[in-house]
Structure 1
Amino acid sequence: MQKSLSEEKYKEVRSYFAKLTRAIVPKALVVAVISGIYLFHISFGNLPPDYNFSSFQILLSLKAVLGLWLGLRGVLQVFFGIQPFVFKGHRLPFILVIMIIFLSQIMYSV
């Protein structure tokens, strides 16, 4: 896109997408975190003390913890301006998203 547009038009289009992203992403983060917490509660609910988790439930819980961490990190950054203390870059969240995708594929085959 940068090669086909003039410098001025490219900056205009880029700023439009930045404004659109800033308007949509925070609301999507909140919906993702709340729906994830609700689905986690529905999936596991009240378990008896002698209950053994299936491999699917183990993978689901691992995926839920990773997703919850990513969602809470995003909500804290966007709405409260709290920057993460340890992982300030984008590499770890990207790796966690890739891990969630792989876990989804593994869950499909289990």
Structure 2
Amino acid sequence: MFVDILFLSKMPQTLSSDEHTKAREAIMIHVRKVVPKALIVAVITGLYMFFQVFGEIQDTGPTLFQILLGIKATLGLWLGLRGVNQVFFGIQPWVFTSHLFPFTLVVIIILLSQFMYL
């Protein structure tokens, strides 16, 4: 869906319906090969960073940074587990089967990253 929005939205204007379908599938073949592996690398490096950066929780409670990092880690782990299940085990998601929800989580993770250092 994200690829459609950015790159493929203007193709129907210049290509026939059949050409558009073929071009879209050619691009999506490469996207399907790269994205899952990149997602797994992101999750593994995220876990490493989480354990390196989180730090100790003080007596006063977790800091804003720690709270936001925990939220980001939870969302990232959900995305990672979803990706691993789909790619390696062929298990399709039971809930939130659309690509819109994972894309929304990625946007939320990016926004949380911006607020972490305020």
Normalising by structure 2, what TM-score? 0.74
Question: Does the CA contact (< 8 Å) of 2:54 and 2:69 recur in 1?
Answer: no
The one-letter amino acid of 1:19's match is: I
- Would you say 1:33 and 2:43 are equivalent positions? yes
Using a 3 Å threshold, how does the CA distance of structure 1 residues 92 and 5 change in structure 2: closer, same or farther?
closer
Alignment equivalent of 1:85, drawn from 81, 91, 94: 94
Residue identity in the other structure for 2:85: L
Contact 2:39 2:83 in 1 (8 A): yes
Cα deviation code 1:31-79 (max 9, x no counterpart): 111111111111136x378584221121111111111111211111122
| Per-residue deviation, 1:20 | 0.6
Taking the aligned partners of 1:69 and 1:10, their CA distance within structure 2 comes to 33
Partner of 1:10: 20
Unpaired runs of 5+ residues, structure 2, are: 1-10
Q: Is the 8 A contact 1:66 1:100 kept in 2?
A: yes
Structure 1 spans left out of the alignment, 5+ residues: none
Q: Is 1:44 equivalent to 2:54 in the alignment?
A: yes
Identity fraction in percent:
55
Q: Classify 1:6/1:48 alpha carbon distance in 2 versus 1 (closer, same or farther; 3 Å).
A: closer
For 2:50 and 2:42, how far apart are their aligned partners in 1?
Answer: 12
The structural deviation recorded for 1:19 is 1.0
Equivalences, count: 108
Q: What residue is the counterpart of 1:19 in the other structure? A: 29
1:74 alignment partner in structure 2: 83
RMSD across aligned positions (CA): 2.3
